[in-house]
Amino acid sequence: GNSVTQMEGPVTLSEEAFLTINCTYTATGYPSLFWYVQYPGEGLQLLLKATKADDKGSNKGFEATYRKETTSFHLEKGSVQVSDSAVYFCALSDPRNSGNTPLVFGKGTRLSVIA
């Protein structure tokens, strides 16, 4: 099946620093790619997504580009804030024999932003 590898954390940054969280994937076919965020004590929220090669997903100042040639979907933000402290999960849609496509997640990267 398909799988996702993302950089291990924790990542600690100062406010206004540049953020990159690396994500690479292994897939047959052309999955959709996602970034989810989990704030302390909450469930996961969809942050952004891309459905085909060269698509760029963006939301709340975060961006990620679907790179088929490098099988990557790295998350970036130009200037992080304390409120961005959370766990970030990269995910892809994983086709099953039944035709369904549940999401498969990476292990998560914890980001801490200090003032």
Partner 1 sequence: DVKVTQSSRYLVKRTGEKVFLECVQDMDHENMFWYRQDPGLGLRLIYFSYDVKMKEKGDIPEGYSVSREKKERFSLILESASTNQTSMYLCASSLYPAVPDAFFGQGTRLTVV
Q: Are 21 and 107 in contact (CB under 8 A)?
A: no
Of positions 49, 86, 111, 113, contacts partner 1 by CB under 8 A = 49
Q: Please report, for residues 18, 42, 83, 114, the alpha-carbon distance to residue 95 in angstroms, rounded to integers and kept in the order given.
A: 34, 27, 34, 39
Does 60 sit near partner 1 (CB under 8 A)?
no
For position 57 contacting partner 1 by CB under 8 A, the verdict is no
Task: Compute the distance between CA of residue 91 and CA of residue 10 in angstroms, rounded to an integer.
Answer: 18
Q: Which of 109, 113, 97 is nearest to 24 (CA)?
A: 109
- Contact residue for partner 1 among 42, 69, 70, 115 (CB under 8 A): 42
Q: Which residues pair with 38 in a beta bridge?
A: 44, 87
Binding segment for partner 1 (CB under 8 A), chosen from 10-18, 19-27, 73-81, 95-103, is 95-103
Nearer to partner 1, 80 or 90 (CB): 90
Q: Under the criterion CB under 8 A, does residue 29 sit at the interface with partner 1? A: no
Q: Does 108 bind partner 1 (CB under 8 A)?
A: yes
Q: What whole-number distance in Å separates Cα of residue 100 and Cα of residue 19? A: 33
Residues near partner 1, by CB under 8 A? 1, 32, 34, 36, 41-46, 49, 89, 93, 96, 98-108
